[in-house]
Amino acid sequence: MSTTYIFTDDYFENDTSHNNLTNYIPDQDILSCETKPLEPAAALILCLINAAIFLLAIPGNLLVGCVISSSINALTPSDMYLFHLTIADGLMALTIPFSATAMIQGWIFEDFMCKLISFVFDVNFYTSIIFLVCISVDRYLVIVHARETYKHRKRMCSWILCAAVWGLGLALAAPSFFHQVSKISNDSEILIFVYCCCYFCLVPIFF
């Protein structure tokens, strides 16, 4: 014995449990990227800072990479770390145009692109820091423990260490690819202050 249910139009009009996908408005507090642009003044200042970083980072890292790769002599561990550092910095700089566009027009790309850009940025951010640490440690060992370091410095170990750094960067950035939440904030002054501090503190390190 089967039972047949007949639903009238009044049932669907009064039913609020179903989702109307055509009128769906995403919650901006749980999206991966901000959907609203910044204030015009804040967007202009931050875009100028991002443009300066982009114009300095791309040619600078390309130049350093070309110089290191064209070297006739065998690369030292520090040169290898520096070469990988230029790759990480260059890839991280390629994400700047997306951030600048989001500041002016809001995030106009797909949600997957937001997670992908965040993932690429985080990977190269972490690897850049770790490679800077590797360069510092290598320089310390060469200067302070020159004899012991000369015996144990091998290119194969440096390649393995570089691969481990990239693997660690991928592991640390993996959460940003699968889950990235950003809430809308109107604290434009704080954001500008952070950008200015990062810009004027980090630029002298690389140049």
2 within a domain of the structure (yes/no): no
Domain count, the chain: 1
**Other residues' Cβ atoms within 10 Å of the Cβ of residue 50:** 19
Dist. CA 161–CA 172, nearest whole Å: 16
4 within a domain of the structure (yes/no): no
pLDDT digits (tens, 9 = 90+) for 62-107: 999 999 988 877 788 888 999 999 999 999 999 998 888 888 877 7
CA atoms within 13 A on the CB side of 147: 0
Overall average pLDDT of the 49-71 stretch:
90
Tokens (6 digits) for 110:
């797909």
What is the domain range of residue 142? 9-206
Look up the CATH number of the domain holding residue 30.
Answer: 1.20.1070.10
70 within a domain of the structure (yes/no): yes
pLDDT above 60 for 144:
yes
1 within a domain of the structure (yes/no): no
Dist. CA 21–CA 14, nearest whole Å: 17
Q: Note if the pTM is more than 0.85.
A: no
Q: Of all residues in the chain, what percent carry a pLDDT higher than 90?
A: 27
